[in-house]
Amino acid sequence: MKWTAAATPALILWSLAAPPGATAAPLGDAAFLNIGLACRWDDQCMTMQRKAMAHAVGYVRQTKPAAWRIQLCNRNARRAYGRVDWVGFDHCIHNERLSRAVANDARRRARH
């Protein structure tokens, strides 16, 4: 673990050396940080993702879809481990043609 001790000061210095006018990453807001990383901090992409997130969260609160539907849409909208494409999730959660059979097929494919 010698590289960890050597890499830590380098990472701290790298994070402090931001270009002038750049804002720091919002480490306290996990959703915003997720969107920023998924969009590579592109403002237009982040705006689309935030709007889609608000729309999807409002829809889920209002309609309370089944757990299998939310899980299926989470799997479908995943970009990388722990990162969700909110535009894809929003489209998926509104899709009335999804069925439990589709969710079961996706689960079987994920196991293999």
| Sign of the alpha-carbon dihedral angle for 17, 19, 21, 26 | negative
In order along its 112 residues, the chain shows pLDDT tens digits of 555 555 555 444 444 454 555 565 567 778 888 888 888 889 999 999 999 999 999 999 999 999 999 999 988 888 666 677 899 999 999 998 888 876 566 666 666 5
Q: What does the pLDDT read at residue 13?
A: 43
What 3-state class would DSSP assign to 80? Answer: strand
Q: Domain locations in the chain? A: 26-111
End-to-end CA distance of the chain: 34
Q: Which residues pair with 84 in a beta bridge?
A: 78
Beta carbons within 8 Å of 68's beta carbon, 6+ residues apart: 100, 103
Length, in residues, of the chain: 112
3-state SS, residue 48: helix
